[in-house]
Amino acid sequence: MKPMTIRPGVYPVGAVDWDRRLFDALVPLPDGTSYNSYLVQGSEKTALIDTVDPSKQGVLLEHLKELDIKNIDYVVSHHAEQDHSGALPMVLAEYPGAKIVCSQKCKGMLIDHLMIPEDRFITVADYETLSLGNRTLEFIYTPWVHWPETMVTYLREDKLLFTGDFFGSHLATSDLYVVDEGQAYESAKRYFAEIMMPFRTNIQRNLDKLRNYTIDVIAPSHGPLYNRPEFILKLYHSWVFDEPDSVAVIAYVSMHGTTQKMVEYMTEALSQKGVCVKQFDLVEVDIGKLAMALVDAATLVVGTPTVLAGLHPKVAYAAILANALRPKLKFATAIGSYGWGGKAIEQQQSLVPNLSVEFLAPVLVKGFPREADFVALDNLASLIAEKHKVLPMPSSWHISRV
Ligand code: FEO
């Protein structure tokens, strides 16, 4: 069976991974993923855009054979991570005349990771072009989405933008293009939160670089293609440029119910004062959901008991993760309980040096909270609500943003 067609002579030849449930031994994939690769035929030359994860290289090869591709001149490598580059050695062996086209940085990484010989590379500069005859590839550097070597490729005559991980989503689907924008929003936001959010400033610059291109289709290396590019462009614009919303994320662990009592009280108090709350029990949390909540949140409230005189290890894990994801939080605080003392709060603050937040005074309770402790929680909720007054309330993506 022949692959679908994006344009005459432009085909998706990658692989859908319906069953993968974890990426980078960290990121949950509730809806699977795909490793998108594209074949572009010009009147004189043929280019393959990215490859696939090595576990699916047989699928890529099968698709190329179904299209009866006897010769590949160029393999454009946007990004050296192995889910897109891992099948390069197989492609180079099957097509001995093929050269890898990539940035100088990417070349070094591909040699480091895959031991590809120097003479199989052509490096390209920012905005450099490569003719396929009647089609032209233009390479645009988009560093740090999400590694330093990343770039995208604009197929000028067709107004197609191949973007590697940029704008991707972990979503296994048989649809070539986005069909359900609600589902695409969820998958793309999860992807952004877990992969792209730490590089918001770089993404701002990269979005600016793409501003003057007329784009009919965005073809990322994960998930369905966007034939309504403004959908994903506006979402990214909002995620990287907009102020956070009036959202407080409460992430907590409770061993004997005391911290949970405080968390429940805090959630209620904040809600009554008009702050949107997203509450997560860290014992069973889907970290993708937590990361997504942090995309728009202004405040992080950590609820922790004291274990062995310090933070609960699951809270420490969440703090390290939040620190790595660098969300646009403005405020952070903690609530929780202890039996005889400890350094849980100091430890927590030391784990989040990347967060440019104002730390609000925590509410820590010895044993079960008493009336004065609930008053302190009320005061903390009032302080958060006051600070959120200037922030917008969260709204539906389909009404306000796209
Ligand atoms: Fe999809 Fe960064 O690899």
User: What average pLDDT does this structure show over 263-287?
Assistant: 96
Q: Is the CB of 17 under 6 A from ligand 1?
A: no
* Residues in a beta bridge with 218: 161, 226
Long-range contacts of 259-262 (CB under 8 A, 24+ apart): 259/303, 259/304, 259/305, 259/335, 259/336, 259/337, 260/303, 261/368, 261/369, 262/303, 262/335, 262/336, 262/337, 262/363, 262/365, 262/369, 262/373, 262/377
Residue 331 pLDDT > 70, yes or no? yes
| C-alpha of residue 35 to centroid of ligand 1, in Å | 9
What is the enclosing helix (H) or strand (E) of 334?
A: strand 331-338
* Per-residue CA distances from 226 to 42, 188, 200, 215, 239 (Å): 23, 11, 21, 10, 18
| Range in 238-247, 285-294, 336-345 with the lowest mean pLDDT | 336-345
| Range in 176-190, 250-264, 385-399 with the lowest mean pLDDT | 385-399
Predicted confidence at residue 396, as pLDDT, reads 65
User: What average pLDDT does this structure show over 14-34?
Assistant: 93
Q: Which residue's CA is the nearest one to ligand 1's atom 3?
A: 81
Q: Residue 320: pLDDT band by 50, 70, 90 thresholds?
A: very high
Residue 360 pLDDT > 80, yes or no? yes
Q: Is the CB of 20 under 6 A from ligand 1?
A: no
Per the CB < 8 A criterion, the answer to whether 105 and 148 are in contact is: yes
Q: Whole-number mean pLDDT of the chain?
A: 95
Predicted confidence at residue 309, as pLDDT, reads 80
Residue 333 pLDDT > 70, yes or no? yes
| C-alpha of residue 393 to centroid of ligand 1, in Å | 33
* Residue 265 CB neighbour total at 10 angstroms: 18
Residue 400 pLDDT > 70, yes or no? no
Predicted confidence at residue 308, as pLDDT, reads 83
Secondary structure (DSSP) of 97-155? T-EEEE-HHHHHHHHHHH---GGGEEE--TT-EEE-SS-EEEEEE-TTSSSTT-EEEEE
pLDDT tens for 138-195 read: 999 999 999 999 999 999 999 999 999 999 999 999 999 999 999 999 999 999 999 9
| C-alpha of residue 83 to centroid of ligand 1, in Å | 6
Predicted confidence at residue 294, as pLDDT, reads 97
pLDDT tens for 192-227 read: 999 999 999 999 999 999 999 999 999 999 999 999
Q: Is the CB of 50 under 6 A from ligand 1?
A: no
Instruction: Please count the residues of the chain.
Output: 402
Specify the ligand 1 atom closest to the Cα of 222.
1
pLDDT tens for 106-143 read: 999 999 999 999 999 999 999 999 999 999 999 999 99
Specify the ligand 1 atom closest to the Cα of 221.
1
Predicted confidence at residue 398, as pLDDT, reads 52
Q: Which residue's CA is the nearest one to ligand 1's atom 2?
A: 81
Residue 248 pLDDT > 70, yes or no? yes
CA distance 41 to 342: 65
Q: Residue 397: pLDDT band by 50, 70, 90 thresholds?
A: low
User: What average pLDDT does this structure show over 44-53?
Assistant: 98
Q: Is the CB of 149 under 6 A from ligand 1?
A: no
Specify the ligand 1 atom closest to the Cα of 165.
1
User: What average pLDDT does this structure show over 24-40?
Assistant: 93
Predicted confidence at residue 350, as pLDDT, reads 87
Q: How far is CA 288 from the centre of its chain?
A: 10
All domains of the chain, ordered by start, with CATH? Answer: 10-241 (3.60.15.10), 247-388 (3.40.50.360)
pLDDT tens for 69-83 read: 999 999 999 999 999
| C-alpha of residue 84 to centroid of ligand 1, in Å | 7
Specify the ligand 1 atom closest to the Cα of 82.
3
Q: What angle do CA 333, 389, 197 make, to 5 degrees?
A: 60
Q: Residue 345: pLDDT band by 50, 70, 90 thresholds?
A: confident
Predicted confidence at residue 1, as pLDDT, reads 72
Residue 401 pLDDT > 70, yes or no? no
Q: Is the CB of 189 under 6 A from ligand 1?
A: no
Per the CB < 8 A criterion, the answer to whether 8 and 23 are in contact is: no
* Per-residue CA distances from 220 to 103, 118, 141, 198, 342 (Å): 18, 27, 15, 19, 48
Q: Is the CB of 200 under 6 A from ligand 1?
A: no
Backbone angles phi, psi at 272, to 5 degrees: -65, -25
| Range in 59-63, 110-114, 284-288, 328-332 with the lowest mean pLDDT | 284-288
